[in-house]
Chains A and B, each alone.
Chain A
Amino acid sequence: MNPVQDPAAAPEPHGSPPSAEPHPIPVAVSGVTKRFGTVRALGGVTLEFPAGQVTALMGENGAGKSTLLKILTGDHQPTEGAVVVNGKPLALDSPARARAAGIRIIPQEPEIIPHVSVAENVYAGALPRTRGRLLDRAGLNRRIKADLDRLGFAHVLDPALLGSQLTPAQRQLVEIMRALTGGTTARLIAFDEPTSSLSEREVDALFTLIRRLRDEGIAIVYVSHRMREIFQLADRIAVLRDGSLVGVQDAGATHEGELVRRMVGRDLSAAFVRQRVAVERLVLDVQDLTTDDVTGISLQVRAGEVVGLAGLIGAGRSELALALAGDAPIHSGSVTLDGTPLRSGRPGEVIRAGLGLAPEERKAQALFLRQSIKDNTSLVVLDRLRRFRFVRRAAERRLAQEYTDRLRVRAPSIDHEVGKLSGGNQQKVVLARWLARKPKVLVLDEPTRGIDVGAKSEIYRIIADLAAQGVALLVISSELPELLGLADRVVVMQGGRITGELDRGDATEESILQLAMADDIVGPAPGASS
């Protein structure tokens, strides 16, 4: 997202000023097909985005949502068909043209320049300047104040804050301000999974804002995997599958089950419920563990048990997971794994003792994107695959093949680069790595984040199988229905401490949220996510 805001660079299409009588269908796509080589990413999609309505775009990963958004924003050009703006087909051959036509996107990961102020971030690329071509600070301040007041963000966004000081929600506000200020009026704003790093309260505020924008007559496109949000927000729901539009319906005329069926093309029980297995001996015993980020954590996980770890963003769940994996210094307390006390700061020692972590950010923390599925899978078992320090290559291939088959990783071969796989398949490669290691304890941090419905249910099945085989599992998830379906017990964290523990019978979304917001601490939301 390049916030070029120079209206002169890309003239207003067809000379119709956006301030004129708004067109009822400001933006639409007509018969849009997009091919990449021989692969068809979109096939003949015709879809209108009416003014003053929220159109939700749903579909599994790879269904064509991203491609459609990129065509709207001028990043891709359609192979056939066109984007229609105010009733007239328009060649959006660059992001600047799309911007000039009033089409804006709020990307999933806001692009914020860390060392400059909010004001400079908002107007980056079109900063006001004096006649001597110096930055016009006074003008900048006037402008940001005016825009903050106009948009009603004045109380939530201090224009003097630096990019690096912003919370995820504030970062999103900066992107929204970029979309709403500048040369031309926005006709359509697309939100690409905006809530994935927001807390519940921030989500509410975002929704209020989106509704306001909608009521001002802007066409909203909303992309999300979260059903509940879709039904809270959307007026119309469009479902894509394998690059084709399955259908558009009014949100009131459909329900979750039907949408899932349309997305995957098959019936799928939306709520996964794992069968309980006989819980055995104590495997993971954490006593009064304190690190930089968590305080006085005591929890136990037994063989065959799935313990859910719930909490809001910033509750310290991921920090706890990393500490268990040996990646944070332990100040006090102990972690005992199957009778073996673990020292801190040594992930290798923890792995040898039998604990594996599938971390939250799979691309940044777990995967080697330019290496093959085989190399990614075998990395933590090389010590078992070597003879004198030489890796037994045939055995390595067999092992990688076995686990990628077992987890149904969809790829041409185990030599395929991991960076070219979809999110769900990447997550399966991370799981394959740990399954190959046969750990006693597996910690899964947001195992289904950003993964489509079909892959999610496969991950649930894998978790259930592991528990049935006697692995002790600690699962962190921000999706409460998922946690309720999987876990035998739910441990709730808040502010780096455990605030409560609920048995499967007592755990409901409400009871968990109550514990997660126990003290309702209002403070600066930590930049680190949980």
Chain B
Amino acid sequence: MTLTRTPSPAVKGSPGDGTAARRPKFLAGPGGQNISLIGALAVVLVLFGVLNENYLSLSNMQVIAEAATITGLLAIVQTVVIICGGLDISVGSQVGVASVVSAMTFTATGSGAFLGMAAAVGVGMLIGALNGIVIVYGRVNPTIATLAGLAAYKGLAQLLSDGRAQGYVLNNDVFIFLGRGKMAGLPVMVWILIVVAVTVHLLLKYTDIGRNLYAIGGNDTAARLAGISINKYLICVYALIGVVAAIAGVLLTARTGSGQPVSGSEGLELKAITAAALGGAALKGGKGGIGGTLLAVALLGCLENGLTVQGINTFWQNVAQGALLVIAVVIQQRRSGERAVGLPH
């Protein structure tokens, strides 16, 4: 029996398939995408390395890594929600709420660092679950639901903090350790990113939970008929986003020394979504992986730092980021081989 379709190049690395298993774990997932990302990363590194001798120095690399950590955390969970066919554009605002809550709880409880963090994570989980409940039971399109969240949670953070930075946490060893500490030569923040990335990667690729998430994004009707409780999964995914955004918020507090309602978290949703899309997560769901997303985070971080080092206006950086998001999606559409709207067959 032959195929009735136009034959296309041999098996592409779909999530969790055998060809991916033979590659290094780091590259598992959509292979071609990762290789082009590595290429782009190399070009960026060489370009700025030639333009500025300090760019490739160890200390600058560390600056890039620390700056990219918060984006990286959000990009990882954004990848998860995109894989199951959703989207969360309220992540930046969630970070702001968590940052404020952690600092204010810390201050209010007389320097209880762990209490501050627990409060932030708890609030983060509630906010995330609320997003999920609105989307699942309110049947609201995820983009709209989280667009509402983007505004509402930002306002919430401003209300809680009266619109300004709150508390001072850098008199506490735990926050100092989180924000400035190092373990085995790497900043603690980067270690946190690595732990979250590995955990989520294992979850996606090696557990039945991950398989079910890919299934939900690939075909929700078929997933439901295969017995997957879609509602439960979606609410948990949005709650997971809340938790990870809260961790990012705590790190933001630790970096800046106080709870930041808006500065430092505004615009993070754009970076996270851009990284996930650049990393190969299909916005239609069912496809994507942590390896690609992390490469994209590294690419975005190196680019941003390089532009800053070169003294290029930050306004241009915004333009560059918007352009990258569009380019990433255009490449994705080309790859998926879908017919363009309005063109003949």
By a beta-carbon cutoff of 8 Å, the part of chain A in contact with chain B is 2, 36-39, 41, 60-62, 66-67, 70, 75, 94-96, 242-243, 322, 325, 327, 347-352, 357, 359, 364-372, 374-375, 378-380, 382-383, 385-386, 389-391, 393, 397, 410, 412-417, 420-425, 433, 452, 454-455
Cβ-defined contact, A352 with B227, below 8 A? yes
**Is B206 among interface residues, defined by CB-CB distance under 8 A?**
yes
Cβ-defined contact, B4 with A368, below 8 A? no
Among A325, A352, A370, A374: residue with most chain B CB under 10 A: A370
By a beta-carbon cutoff of 8 Å, the part of chain B in contact with chain A is 1-8, 10-12, 14-19, 21, 206-209, 211-212, 214-215, 218-219, 221-222, 224-229, 286-287, 344-345
Which chain B residues lie closer than 8 Å to A420 at the CB level? 3, 5, 8
B66 to chain A minimum Cβ distance, whole angstroms, is: 32
Which chain B residues lie closer than 8 Å to A327 at the CB level? 224-225
Interface of chain B, main secondary structure: loop
Among B222, B224, B287: residue with most chain A CB under 10 A: B222
B114 to chain A minimum Cβ distance, whole angstroms, is: 28
> How far, in angstroms, from A357 to B226 measured CA to CA in the complex?
9
Which chain A residues lie closer than 8 Å to B344 at the CB level? 2, 75, 94-96
Among B10, B11, B212: residue with most chain A CB under 10 A: B11
Which chain A residues lie closer than 8 Å to B222 at the CB level? 364-368
Cβ-defined contact, A39 with B4, below 8 A? no
Cβ-defined contact, B219 with A367, below 8 A? yes
Name the residue of chain B whose CB is nearest to the CB of A242.
B2
Cβ-defined contact, A391 with B207, below 8 A? yes
> How far, in angstroms, from A348 to B228 measured CA to CA in the complex?
6
Cβ-defined contact, B221 with A371, below 8 A? no
Determine which of B7, B21, B211 lies in contact with A379 in the assembled complex, contact meaning CB atoms within 8 Å: B211
Cβ-defined contact, A397 with B18, below 8 A? yes
Q: List 27 A-B pairs, Cβ < 8 Å.
A: A2-B344, A41-B2, A62-B2, A67-B4, A94-B344, A96-B344, A347-B225, A347-B226, A347-B227, A348-B228, A365-B221, A369-B219, A370-B287, A380-B226, A382-B211, A385-B208, A389-B208, A391-B206, A393-B21, A415-B14, A417-B14, A420-B8, A422-B2, A422-B4, A425-B1, A452-B1, A454-B1
> How far, in angstroms, from A416 to B10 measured CA to CA in the complex?
8
Also in contact, A351 and B7, with CB within 8 A (given A75-B345, A383-B208, A413-B18): no
Total inter-chain residue pairs, C-beta < 8 Å = 144
Inter-chain pairs besides A39-B3, A369-B218, 19 sampled, C-beta below 8 Å? A62-B4, A67-B4, A347-B227, A350-B227, A366-B222, A366-B225, A367-B222, A368-B286, A369-B219, A370-B286, A371-B14, A375-B16, A375-B17, A375-B214, A379-B211, A382-B212, A391-B211, A415-B11, A420-B8
Also in contact, A368 and B7, with CB within 8 A (given A327-B225, A390-B206): no
B194 to chain A minimum Cβ distance, whole angstroms, is: 20
B279 to chain A minimum Cβ distance, whole angstroms, is: 17
> How far, in angstroms, from A351 to B228 measured CA to CA in the complex?
10
Determine which of A37, A393, A414 lies in contact with B7 in the assembled complex, contact meaning CB atoms within 8 Å: A37
Determine which of B11, B215, B221, B229 lies in contact with A348 in the assembled complex, contact meaning CB atoms within 8 Å: B229
Cβ-defined contact, B226 with A379, below 8 A? yes
Determine which of A37, A38, A347, A412 lies in contact with B224 in the assembled complex, contact meaning CB atoms within 8 Å: A347
B144 to chain A minimum Cβ distance, whole angstroms, is: 21
Cβ-defined contact, A61 with B214, below 8 A? no
Cβ-defined contact, A386 with B208, below 8 A? yes
Cβ-defined contact, B227 with A348, below 8 A? yes
Which chain B residues lie closer than 8 Å to A2 at the CB level? 344-345
> How far, in angstroms, from A461 to B286 measured CA to CA in the complex?
34
Which chain B residues lie closer than 8 Å to A385 at the CB level? 208
Cβ-defined contact, B18 with A424, below 8 A? no
> How far, in angstroms, from A351 to B21 measured CA to CA in the complex?
30
Which chain B residues lie closer than 8 Å to A67 at the CB level? 4
Which chain A residues lie closer than 8 Å to B14 at the CB level? 370-372, 375, 415, 417
Which chain B residues lie closer than 8 Å to A455 at the CB level? 1
Which chain B residues lie closer than 8 Å to A391 at the CB level? 206-208, 211
> How far, in angstroms, from A378 to B215 measured CA to CA in the complex?
11
> How far, in angstroms, from A369 to B336 measured CA to CA in the complex?
12
